[in-house]
Amino acid sequence: MIDWNDRFWSKVAPEPNSGCWLWMASTDACGYGRFGVARSNVLAHRNAYVLVHGAIPGGMHVLHRCDVRACVNPDHLFLGTHADNMADMANKGRGAPPSGDRHWSRLHPEKRAYGDRNGSRRHRRRGETNSNASLTNSSAADIRALLARGAMQREVAAAYGVSQTCISRLAMGRTYAVPSNEIAAASGPDDVDAEPADSEERAR
């Protein structure tokens, strides 16, 4: 029996100045920590909240007081509605991640993974099980509905705190195409960690 609690907290590094507990394992394209549990991949800060404060009421978001998306310090996390989340982001002047010349791919073009090193070649999992997933399947459905009613991709991206690329890919049906259940398979010997699973591609 694996102790999820110990395994989770072993991936955290306290930051002495801010008090943030930084998630050292993988993060998604939008900067949130991801934690692999029983074949699923959950948001690390939500998992931290549950471990310390208990279950998250349905539909509630776990927000950061510190505005550090990779932080999992339970004292820096609080519950809010989707509307609270949008208001909080607006107050902090934060919408979509850096883009254009501020985007890391412009600042560090040598770090971009081309060809066979690109994640899209190496890992073709979709939806929440994708280790880069930044939206749950339920919010993906909400976003599709918003777009169908004529919402701008840029506005929806800002509201959900993800990149416009995330939204446009979703709109084109290239991501979140396969529904999955985040709490399927409560535990098992073949759980995956948040690190990339290269066995995925060989299994194809």
Compose the 141-180 pattern: x for residues touching Zn ion by CB under 5 A, - for all others.
Answer: ----------------------------------------
Picking from 134, 164, 170, the residue whose alpha carbon sits closest to that of residue 152 is 164
| Alpha helices, H only, 20-152 | 44-53, 82-91, 104-107, 119-122, 137-148
CA atoms within 13 A on the CB side of 28: 27
Closest to Zn ion by CB, 20 vs 166, is: 20
Question: Binding residue for Zn ion (CB under 5 A) from 8, 11, 12, 20?
Answer: 20
Binding segment (CB under 5 A) for Zn ion, from list 32-40, 65-73, 97-105, 133-141: 65-73
Residue type present at position 100? G
Burial of 141 (0-12, 13-18, 19+ CB in 10 A): middle
Closest to Zn ion by CB, 23 vs 160, is: 23
Compose the 75-114 pattern: x for residues touching Zn ion by CB under 5 A, - for all others.
Answer: -x--------------------------------------
Closest to Zn ion by CB, 61 vs 76, is: 76
Rounded distance, CA 14 to CA 192, Å?
A: 25
Q: How far is the CB of 11 from Zn ion (least distance, A)?
A: 15
Sequence-separated (6 or more) residues with CB below 8 Å from residue 156:
143, 146, 147, 167
Q: What residues make contact with Zn ion under the rule CB under 5 A? A: 20, 66, 68, 71, 73, 76
